[in-house]
Amino acid sequence: MGKEETPKTSGETILVSACLLGLPTRYDGKSKRSQDVLDYLQREGLTPIPVCPEQLAGMTTPRDKTFFQSGDGRAVLAGKGAAVSEKGRLMNVIFCRGAKMTLEIARLSDCRRALLKEGSPSCGVHRVYQGENKVAGVGITTALLLNSGMDVISEEDLK
C-alpha cells in the first residue's frame, strides 16, 4: 500500500457551518455540502471546526423552520428583533443559546474567523429571511461572533 500524503495545513483553525461540510444538520435534515468551501479550506490549509449552532442549542434535527418576524440577529441580541418558528413560537432564547455555545467553541479552538451558511437565521452573513423575503442582515450566531471581533464570511464570498 502506498503512503498517504499528509495534507499541508497553516495550523489556523476556522469555524465552519457543519451543513456546508456535508453534515445533515439543517432544519429539514439535509446538508448543504459546498465544494467551494472544501476547496477553499484545502487551498488555504485551514483546519475546519464544524459547528451547528441550532444543534448546539439542543434543538432536534429535523426541526421547525425559523425566520425573523422583525429585525435580524443584531436586533435580537439587542432585545429588539424576533425569530419565530413556522408554528409561531418565539425562538430568540434558544437561538441565543446556540450562538453562545458556538462562541465558546470558537474560543476553545482558537478560531478568529468563521465561514458560515448564507441566509440562515443563525448563520446568515449578508442576508436572512423575514418570512419568505430575503432581507439584508445577519443571523444570531453571526451577530455574536462579529461582536466578539471575529471575521465572518459566507460560502457566497468565495465565488
CB of 37 or CB of 75, closer to ligand SF4: 37
Give the nearer residue to ligand SF4 in terms of CB position, either 25 or 130: 25
State the minimum distance, in angstroms, from the CB of residue 1 to ligand SF4.
36
Q: What angle do CA 123, 128, 130 make, to 5 degrees?
A: 135
In the block, cell 499541508 appears at: 8
Q: What phi and psi values does residue 83 have, to the nearest 5 degrees?
A: -105, 130
8 vs 28 by CB, closer to ligand SF4: 28
| DSSP bridge pairs for 67 | 84
The minimum distance between CB 85 and ligand SF4, in angstroms, equals 14
Shortest Cβ distance from residue 102 to ligand SF4 (Å)? 9
Give the DSSP letter string of 84-120. EETTS-B-HHHHHHHHHHHHHHHHHTT--EEEE-TT-
| Sites of contact with ligand SF4 (CB under 6 A) | 17-19, 25-26, 52-54, 117, 120, 122-123
Q: How far apart are CA 123 and CA 138, in angstroms?
A: 7
Smallest gap, in angstroms, from Cβ of residue 59 to ligand SF4? 9
